[in-house]
Structures are given as structure tokens and as C-alpha cells.
Structure 1
Amino acid sequence: MQEALDDLERNDILSREQAALLRQIYARELFSVHWELRILLYGGILVLTAGLGLLVAKHFASIGDLTLLAAIALGCTACFAYCLRHGGGFSPERLATPDAAYDYVLLLGCLLLGTLQSYLELRYQLLAQSWNWWLLVSALTYLLCAHYFDNRLVLSLALSTLGAWLGVKTSLPGAWPWDGALRDNAIFFGGLVVAAGAMQTRLGWKRHFLPVHLHLGINVLLAALVAGVGSRGADLAYLAGLLLAGSGSAFYALRERSFAFLLYAVLYGYLGITIFVFNRGHWSSEGVIFYFLASAASLLMALVALHRRFRSAE
């Protein structure tokens, strides 16, 4: 590598400064902390929002409703004003991020908006028994912000909130979280999210949003199908659906060289098959131990081999 850089510098393909920078990178004297900083910023936004929620819950009586509402609304307005001033605008293509704080200020504004809605409902019961519609309003607002400001963090928040609204709306008090209608609605929601991402990509609208749709949609879909395998009566149908969806995820992984989607297919498939096998047979304790030892070892070796193939293909 050093000889190649020397040749490039000698032939005036690289300047002295460029060659020196590349030598530092190759010697690992310089390294990127981009993702570490992004994780810290994201965690800081979540901690700040959680702290605000605790503050509201603990001191709303002494501070006063109007003061708290005004403070939250002011912070939310300031965040959106900052984002409107520095960026935004509908575009089917990826928009350049104006600065490092832009994405996180937008995320903070959306979370403050959710806090404001929650506080209004908590104190004034504006929707009473229909409070779950606040989730739908929040989800649609976040979805609009994600597309207008071209932000994948907010898109994740929007899709998660939409799924939460669907789950709250259809669940029954005291029901098992993955039981009955809720499980089937999770399958519908996961398929809908994946289909929406694929449709956007085909139409040429926000193609870079596709991974967000796929990661969330496939995980929800496969998890719901695995839960269905554990149900009595329709376990074979759910297993067939799980294998079909897992095959689609694996095919996409191989086509796009994305190991994560292959990992989803293998792990959820293994879990579903394991549940099906144990539900359909009578196993001794020795058989259970042998099954998990043999299957887990085989699964681990397969994943390591597949990961090496993906790395070598890159």
C-alpha cells in the first residue's frame, strides 16, 4: 500500500497532502467516529425526552398546566422552525443534510410533539376512550415530516407509531399480546410496510427509504408468523407463511448483498421450526438437550460460513 501511494504521488496523481492523509488512514492514525457520535446524539435525544416526560409527570401540579404546555409547545415550535429554516422541501430524491444537528433537532421536535399530545390527553381527556387516535395523528404527522424533511429516523418513528396505533386499536384488555386478531393485524401491518416501501421504490419516490421499510416490516411479519406457529390448529399454515416470507427475505439478502436480511430469515425460521417440532412431538429431556446442542451448533456454523461468503463477495 505504501509503495502504491508513493507511485501515485510520484506520478502527480495524488498531491503530497492527499498522499499523507491516505498514509495516516492506512496506518490507522485516523479513524472515523461518525457512527459513535450519531448513537450518542440519538441516545441523548431519547434521554432528554424521557427526562422531560418524568418532569411533567412529577411536577405538573406545582408548575402548572399552562406553563408546561407553553414550554413544550415552544420547544417543539423552535425545533420545527430550525428545520424549516435550514432544510426541508418535498423531493422524491435524497436531500443533503444541512448540518450534523439537523436530523436530531427534527427528531426532538417530533418527540416533543408526542409529549404535548400525551399531556393534553392526560390532563383534559380530549378524546377520552378514543385516546388511541392520538397515535394515528402522531404517526401521520411523523410520516409527513419524514418525507418533507427527508429523515429516516423520523420515518422509523412514524412506522413504529402507526404499528402501535393498530395494535392498541385491535387488542382486547387482558389478551395475550400476540393472540388472535392482534397477531393477524401484525402480519397485515408487516406486509403493508414492506409493500409500501417496494411501491415507493418502483415509483422512484424516496428510494433510500426502502431499508427502513424492510427492516421494520420483515421483523414484524416474521415475528407474528412465528407467534402463529405456536398457536393450535393453524400452526402448519403459519409455518408455511413463515418459510415463504423467510425465503423472500433471504432472496433479497442475496440479491442486495445484505447479510442482515439473511440473518432474519435464518433466525426466525429456526425459531418457527423449533416451535413446530416441539408442539408436534413428545420429547424427553435428553432429546431436547440433544436437539438444541446439535441445531444451535449447526446454525452457528452456517451463519459464520454465510457471513464469510458475504464478506468475500464484497
Structure 2
Amino acid sequence: MFNIFKKTKETLERTREAWLGKITNVFDRREYDDSLWDDLEEVLIAADVGVGASTKLVERTRARAKEEKLNEAPEVQKVLAQEMVGILKAPSNGAFTLAAGKPAILLVVGVNGTGKTTSIAKLAYSLKGQGKQVIMAAGDTFRAAAIDQLKWWGQKLGIEVIASQPGGDPGAVVFDALEAAKKRKVDYLIIDTAGRIQTKSNLMEELKKIRRVITKSEIEPQVLLVLDANTGQNGLSQAKYFTEAVHVDAVVLAKLDSTSKGGVVLGIVDELKIPIAFFGTGQEPQDLSPFVAEDFVEALLSR
């Protein structure tokens, strides 16, 4: 657990540098008046927490500070931290557990360029390191580069990839991958998908079709949505395209190490009502960490 916290703290360094000082300055005042709470809300919104989540955090923290008669900055900051954890743990108690099965299926969705394919490779690498057998499926048949990238990762990691020629039927690729996964009795089948939001209706129909192919095999997939932390609040509008098309079980937040917008995690969970499962911490295959709400908030607010 210590290693996870250490990695979380390192990943959030840019975010912490960008807003910890501002939060500290707000709480260092002697008077806890209306302007303090207004300024705190502004700091949170500027940190990409989002208007809704920021308002909720300030209102809850303010109410508890008044009720518990808190006047010292460390006490109030502790309450703020507790309320942040509360938001992050609200959906599914903040926990996401990978399903078990022969095979368990992970359907991974997200906009092109979010780090989706790399996140799939990282997840496959992590599972393989736990002694699990994994197959990856190149379901984004519309981009030759996506197929090539997944094949490259498969060769690098020693993990089988099921793919077709560019322009092939994604449903057929998924069907073939399912058959291969069953035959080989693998633990996990991880499926890449297209992310062309400019063709929203086509994309939604495609994702629904892929899900139907999977559920016909009497296996319910877990759907992971990959978001790029660098996009901040803009990523939420993209996310809604996918939550409208398929039921999303959890979010994988990519590139969290390369942004100062880590506060978006709170906005994502509050807005989408789905938990964060993993977050990206770098470029290497091992740079994917499970999300722990308490560790995230402590790393965010620690000096």
C-alpha cells in the first residue's frame, strides 16, 4: 500500500504544486467568513474539479465546520479531505474489482488519442504479472495504426493479439477473439474499440453491436472508459458519448502524471457516478496503478 501511495503522490506532483499553495492560502486566514468559502470554491473550480463537485465540497465542508465549531485551518482541511474521499467513494463505494471468469471480458472504450490502446497494454501486462492468461483483441478496425500499435504491444509483452485487416468488421474480430479465449481457457480478454466521436451515431451503434456479440456468449463484459487527464473538464463531454452508448463500469484515467489538472478526478466521479479503477503514471508497461480514494486525496493535499 505504501508503494501505491508513493506512486500516487509522485503522479500528482504537478497538480499538487498548482493548487495546494492556493488552498493553504485560503485556510491560513483568521476569519472564516463568506469570502473564504467563495475563494475556496474558486480555487477548486480553477483546479478542474468542476462547478458541481466544487459547490458540493464547499457546502459540505462549510456546514461541518460550523456544526463542529472548527476554527483551525488543519481541522477544516481535514474535513475537506474527508468530503473529497466521500465523493470519490460514492459510486460502488469507490471500489472497482475486475471480474473473474474463463474468460472475463474487459471492453475498453474512449476517444482516439486518450491513451486507450496503451492503457489496454498496461492492464494486460499487470494481469500477466499476476499469473493470469490474457488475450487482447484489436476491435478498432477503422485505424490501421490502432491495430499495429496493439500488435506491437502484444509482441513486446508476449501477449496474443486477435486482429483483422484494417476495415474489417469489429464484431467479427470480437467473435473470433471470444472463441480463441474460450478455447485457450484464458482468464481475461481485453477488447480495444474505435473512438471516432465525430461519427457519434455510428460509434454508438458499433459499441452496442460489439456488446451484443459478447452477451450472446452469455458473458457480461465489464466496460472501462479511458479518459485523458490533460483534457480536464472537456473530457466529461466526451465521456458522455460513451456512457450513452454502453453501461460504463469504471474509468481509467490516463496521463495523470503529465497534467496539473488532477482535480478533474473529483469532477469525473461526481458527474458520471462511476468509480475510477486505474490511473496512468508514466509511459512504461508497469505504469498503471489501482485507484485508492484515500491515497489520492492524501497525496493531493500533503505537503
TM-score in terms of structure 2 length: 0.22
**Whose helix fraction is larger, Structure 1's or Structure 2's?**
1
- Rg: which structure is higher? 1
